[in-house]
Amino acid sequence: TSYTWFLSIIQNEFRCGKIDLDRTKKLLEKLQVPLNVAHVKHVFKKIVDKRTENTINMEDFRAIYRTIVHRAEFLELFSSYSRNKKLLTNIELIEFLRKEQYETKDCEMTALEIILKYEPIEEVKKRKQMSFEGFIRYMSSEDCSIFRKDHKTVYQDMNHPLCDYFISSSHNTYLVSDQLIGPSDLWGYISALSKGCRCVEIDCWDGSNNEPIVYHGHTLTSKIPFRSVIEVIDKYAFVASDYPLVLSLENHCSPKQQEVMAEYLEYILGDKLLTSVIGDTQVTQLPSPEELKFKILIKNKKVGTIEEGLIRRESGKHGEAVEISDSEDITEDDDTSDRAHLYPKRSGLKRKSEHRPSPSPRKKAKIKKKKIATALSDLVIYTKSEKFVSFEHSLSNQKCYENNSIGELRARKFVKNSAKDFVSHTSRFITRIYPKGTRTTSSNYNPQEFWNVGCQMVALNFQTEGLQMELQNGKFLDNGGCGYILKPDFLRNCNSTFTPQNVGSHGNPMSLSIKVISGHQLPPSSLSKTNKADPLVHVEIYGVPQDQAKRKTAVVKSNALSPRWEETFSFTVQVPELALIRFCVEDEVSLVSNEFLGQYTLPLMSLRRG
């Protein structure tokens, strides 16, 4: 039956004789098989190698099809459940689902659905059976993805206060290259928002003709109008997620241009902009992502209380500016202070304040008076930026709608020396971490160490590929990719005793066994003239320090089409709720260097058995 079905699909193509490479590719697509052009090309070339013309007949095509599609590891699996080695009956498929895929409920229903969805041969489908062709299509489908299906949509409780979630956050979103001389571009916002980012940063400066501009101050990065940025945000805010978007303003504008900013925000964003409280004006707890759906929040400094601002808005008394004192701490790796040190010194971008030992850093504080326009201040409701002084200070003075930004260097010291206080702080207040100013090439830090202590907004340079952004992307695949992930209970509880170094009773040990079986149609090595590579697979776990682990398979020599490893790795993970697992495939170029071929990262709790 398989052969008859196969012929019925392909024979029309061979009516006029032989076919070339292009038509071979089209025919494979018609057969709905996942194909990699480089591999098809190579297998095709191998067949026509000694011939005068570059065309193949029907038998040649069948050979190519089998080489690419009929994977040995699938055939072994299929044969171990199929009594007659040709077809899987409904009952045999159920047995496969129970034993191999750990399916427990509605197996009969599931088996029938799989047959209806993937079996290409009509008469086999009618008999409620599955051919090897159907089995291949099922095994290569999304239904066999390692990522749990129920985690591909929003499944978590979205009714907790905002501070109970990890929030996908971007740093200097307008930059698409480095931090000093590269372009600023609206694409930065489009790209981040399309990836489900829920907190974007806007650095605002006075521009000519009373038009505020966005760029990296004190540097040679190009400038874009604030108005254009807000128009793009208005258009793309909710393409990837319905949940609230926070605009984190780094505001360097004069009161006059701050009023222009406020006008643009209200005029362009309209009803999307949150300008009032939800419920009580006495805010004792942050609202939830659910309550703030499709809303845009402004994160900025604010004058006075929420109540005063609302009264002022109602009475229409806008237009004044209020001075607020802002103690700038130069020893902190603050975004602006770093840059001021950085740029004028042409020779070797060194920061003065970083290397000097300072016994009492607090003495370095200088009071800077900043003027803030009430029109802009009153648009800040639940996300008021507040200078971070200390954990004790926050505990006794900070309100639930006030949040802090802490530079990575200072935050790293807190993780090391006062993790318990840090966890207690992030259980109450939204905390944003940002890269140190010396990362002029837009490099990133490892976000995991700050998620481990419950920091909600761990801001990264989204434009820079690498392990750090891979962990970010992997973590936020969870919960339907909506950009909000509910923190584990021990990071939400104000009396938690959890620290990443000492998980104590909060550990929930899980034993994990992963068998790396095979690869299929991997990208060939850049050094290979054909479709070869010497691939190996790294399996890595990121989480609390004691869960960090790295293992790797042996190298399979010169095979990128269908390498087989058949290696099993076992791990014990103490805090699976915070763990990510990363698979990285490399080509061994020499004994000392490997070339990257591909990667995939996902939360450990989103991993499917089977």
Strand boundaries in 397-463, DSSP class E: 402-407, 431-434, 457-458
Which range is least confidently modeled, 131-145, 355-369, 436-450, 473-487?
355-369
Average pLDDT on 490-509 reads: 94
Which token pair is 161?
């206060």
Radius of gyration of the chain measured on its C-alpha atoms: 29
CA separation for the pair 200, 212 (Å, rounded): 17
Residue 524 pLDDT exceeds 60: yes
Return the higher-pLDDT residue of 308 and 230: 230
Which token pair is 382?
């639940």
Residue by residue, DSSP assigns 48-104 as HTTSSSS-B-HHHHHHHHHHHHS-HHHHHHHHHH-TTSSEE-HHHHHHHHHHTS---
CA separation for the pair 514, 524 (Å, rounded): 25
- Amino acid identity of residue 3, one-letter, is Y
Ramachandran angles phi, psi of 173, nearest 5°: -55, -25
Ramachandran angles phi, psi of 163, nearest 5°: -70, -5
Mean model confidence pLDDT for the chain: 91
Which token pair is 400?
């639930």
Q: 3-state SS of the chain: helix, strand, coil percent to 5?
A: 40, 20, 40
Average pLDDT on 417-421 reads: 97
Any residues with CB less than 8 A from the CB of 535 and at least 6 apart, and which?
519, 522, 555, 556, 559, 560, 563, 585, 586, 587, 588, 597
Which token pair is 47?
């067949």
Which strands, in side-by-side order, build the sheet including 213-214?
224-225, 213-214, 199-205, 245-251, 296-299
DSSP lists the bridge partners of residue 607 as: 147
Report which of 443, 473, 474 is spatially closest to residue 580, judged by C-alpha positions: 474
Residue 62 pLDDT exceeds 90: yes
Question: SS3 letters for 232-245?
Answer: HHHHHCCCCCCCCE
**Three-state SS for 2?**
helix
Instruction: Give 566's DSSP letter.
Output: E
Return the higher-pLDDT residue of 317 and 309: 309
Q: For residue 282, name the pLDDT band (cuts at 50, 70, 90).
A: confident
Return the higher-pLDDT residue of 55 and 315: 55
Residue 121 pLDDT exceeds 90: yes
The pLDDT of residue 150: 95
Report which of 449, 456, 455 is spatially closest to residue 416, judged by C-alpha positions: 449
CA separation for the pair 251, 300 (Å, rounded): 8
Catalytic residue among 171, 341, 425, 506: 171
CA separation for the pair 42, 587 (Å, rounded): 18
Helices 107-118, 90-99: axis angle to 10 degrees equals: 110
Task: Give the number of other Cβ atoms within 10 Å of residue 319's Cβ.
Answer: 10
Average pLDDT on 387-407 reads: 97
Percentage of residues in the chain with pLDDT exceeding 70?
A: 93
**Three-state SS for 388?**
coil
- Cα torsion through 461, 464, 467, 473, rounded to 10: 60
Residue 226 pLDDT exceeds 70: yes
User: Under a CB-based contact definition with an 8 Å cutoff, are residues 532 and 521 in contact?
Assistant: no
Report which of 601, 453, 600, 482 is spatially closest to residue 168, judged by C-alpha positions: 482
Any residues with CB less than 8 A from the CB of 139 and at least 6 apart, and which?
74, 77
Return the higher-pLDDT residue of 428 and 176: 428
Q: What is the pTM of this model?
A: 0.92
User: Under a CB-based contact definition with an 8 Å cutoff, are residues 406 and 329 in contact?
Assistant: no
Instruction: Give 424's DSSP letter.
Output: H
Any residues with CB less than 8 A from the CB of 134 and at least 6 apart, and which?
115, 118, 119, 120, 121, 124, 125
CA separation for the pair 175, 437 (Å, rounded): 14
Is 393 known to be catalytic? no
Helices 132-139, 72-81: axis angle to 10 degrees equals: 120
Report which of 86, 373, 61 is spatially closest to residue 210, judged by C-alpha positions: 373
Is 216 known to be catalytic? yes
pLDDT, one tens digit per residue, over 320-339 is 888 877 654 433 444 544 44
Sign of CA dihedral 262, 263, 268, 271: positive
The pLDDT of residue 327: 54
CA separation for the pair 422, 163 (Å, rounded): 14
Task: Give the number of other Cβ atoms within 10 Å of residue 354's Cβ.
Answer: 14
Percentage of residues in the chain with pLDDT exceeding 90?
A: 80
**Which domains, and CATH codes, for the chain?**
1-69 (1.10.238), 72-144 (1.10.238.10), 162-317+367-491 (3.20.20.190), 510-606 (2.60.40.150)
User: Under a CB-based contact definition with an 8 Å cutoff, are residues 239 and 472 in contact?
Assistant: no
Instruction: Give 286's DSSP letter.
Output: P
**Three-state SS for 38?**
helix
The pLDDT of residue 366: 60
pLDDT, one tens digit per residue, over 530-558 is 889 999 999 999 999 999 999 999 999 99
CA separation for the pair 291, 158 (Å, rounded): 9
The pLDDT of residue 359: 47
Catalytic residue among 39, 151, 216, 341: 216
